[in-house]
Structure formats: structure tokens, C-alpha cells
Amino acid sequence: MKVAAIGLGSMGMGAALNLLKAGHEVTGVDPRAEAREAFAAAGGRAVARAGEIPEGTEAALVLVVNAQQTEAALFGPDGAAPRLAPGAVVIGSATVAPEAARALAAEAEAAGLLWLDAPVSGGAKGAAEGTMVVMASGSEAAFARAEPVLAAIARKTWRLGDAPGIGSTMKMVNQLLAGVHIAAAAEAMALGIRAGADPRMLYEVITTAAGNSWMFGDRVPHILEGDDTPRSAIDIFVKDLGIVLDAARGMTFPLPLTAAAHQLFLGVSAAGYGGRDDAFVIRFWQMLAGIGLPPKRG
């Protein structure tokens, strides 16, 4: 297929490279020259603006930050929509509020396009390995058109119904858990460090015990290595937990744990670390209590 991969960030790049490996004709879209150069070096075509994708592109995988970027990339003054083939499928994989997914789907339908509400999970590692989990909802036609793309980027695609917004609702719940678990992992490590436990031994013990979580196992090594290079950034969870809290507020539904985690990410972002790896929400306790963190290895 002729596919546009819009957004060559930590997850978009991995997905785009796997589409190339699967034999698709892929155009990567990203305003950053270094991302375009990396994708072109791997054998893809790269452009700076979505309006520059090839005429007649059959599928667009959109892995940008939020709903506003998704709307601009598709339907803005230099958006991709006019370059897409009639009946092309748009796979909306940014984390957005369910109502935003529904609005984007309506805009796509008005433009003669199919829409799949298809947020993803798996992080940069899952994207690079082609093992992401897709939480998707949309019409049978949209699923059929998107299947070759999904087969190249995911190990599991959940079919959650035909209405846009269902996929984004599922991702919203996932992000609640992910954000709270990262914050809890950081709090636990901070307590252990203050109490005098060896951080690496603490990690080894907890990952064999009942207190372990997927996020503890995945994120704590970043702390141990002193590596705050963003795989997923602090500001992603400022945004995503904000989406969760806004949705809950609209339902008059209390989320005390999510609110506490959101404040931790927000505080670290306000201190100037919003672009750093999300495991470094532990800097909240470093700033508050002066704990020492392991130095960067090497």
C-alpha cells in the first residue's frame, strides 16, 4: 500500500520502519530534519509537511501528540486529506479524548475517508519491534482497509466496536493505569533510596515480588542508569492524565489517585523537566527531599 506515517517520534519512527519492512511504499512526515534524514536513510521517503505526501495515498497512520496536531496534519491548510485517495483509511493513533476521536471521525467521513479510532500501547520498544497493541473501533470497511498496516505494526489489534471513541476510551483507562503505576514506581524507589536500600538490589528484589508492575520493571532501569533520554516524556503524562481527569470531571466521577499522579508529573514539568523521560517523575522527591539518584552510567 501507499502509506503515510505522520509523526516520526519515538513510536511513529518504529511503526514507519516496520511498514517499510513489510513492503509498503511509505512516506514519513515530520517537521524535524533529523527524523526525516533517519527515515530516508532507512529507505523511506520523507517530507516535512503532511500536504506533501504522494497523491493517492491509501492509508495514513497518524502518531502525533494530540488531537490538535491530528486535526492540523489531516485537515489543516497544509493537511494530508486532499492527497489521500477516495475511501482511504486514516488510522488515528494519537491519545485523544473520546469526544475528539468522534469529531475527527466525522470530519474524515465528510471528506470521503474511512476512520479507525486506533490508539496504541507498547512504547518505543513495542513500536520498534512491531509488537504494539492497538485498541481500535471503526467500521468493517475501515478495519479491512487498515489491516495490512496493522499487521505490520502490531502483535494484537483489539476490535472494540464500530463507533469512534471506543478505542480512545480504552486508551484513556490504560493511560490512567500507566501514569499511576509510573508515579507509584518512582515513589517506591524514592522511599527505598531515602531509607538506605541499594537501588539496584531494590529493583532486583521487587521485580521478583508481588509489588512488581510492568511499569516498575520497564521504567526503573532508566533511573538506575541515570538516563533521562525521553522514550516517553513527563509532558506526555501531563497531557494524558489531563485527558483522563477532564473526562471524569464531565461524568462527575472522582479519580483521587489519578489526580495525585497528575500533580506529580505537572510539578516536575513546571520545574523544567517536561521533556525528559517519564521515569524521572522521581525528581519530585529529589527536589522535595534531596535524595540522591544513581549517576549516569558510562
- 62 forms beta bridges with 6, 92
Q: How confident is the model at residue 221 (pLDDT cuts 50, 70, 90)?
A: very high
Average pLDDT over residues 251-268: 98
Please, what is the average pLDDT of the chain?
97
For strand 45-47 and strand 57-62, is the pairing parallel, antiparallel, or unpaired?
Answer: unpaired
CA–CA gap between residue 21 and residue 15 (Å, rounded): 10
Is 21 in the active site? no
Q: How far is CA 19 from the centre of its chain?
A: 18
CA–CA gap between residue 139 and residue 249 (Å, rounded): 29
Average pLDDT over residues 130-140: 98
Residue for grid cell 532486583: 204
Average pLDDT over residues 106-133: 96
CA distances from 154 to 98, 167, 223, 285 (A): 22, 15, 28, 36
pLDDT at 297: 81
Residue 298 has pLDDT above 80, yes or no: no
Give, to the nearest 10 degrees, the angle between helix 214-224 and helix 199-206. 160
CA–CA gap between residue 157 and residue 17 (Å, rounded): 19
Residue 212 has pLDDT above 80, yes or no: yes
Average pLDDT over residues 224-244: 96
Residue 89 has pLDDT above 90, yes or no: yes
Cβ(132)–Cβ(120) under 8 Å?
yes
pTM for the model stands at 0.94
Residue of 21, 125, 171, 239 marked catalytic? 171
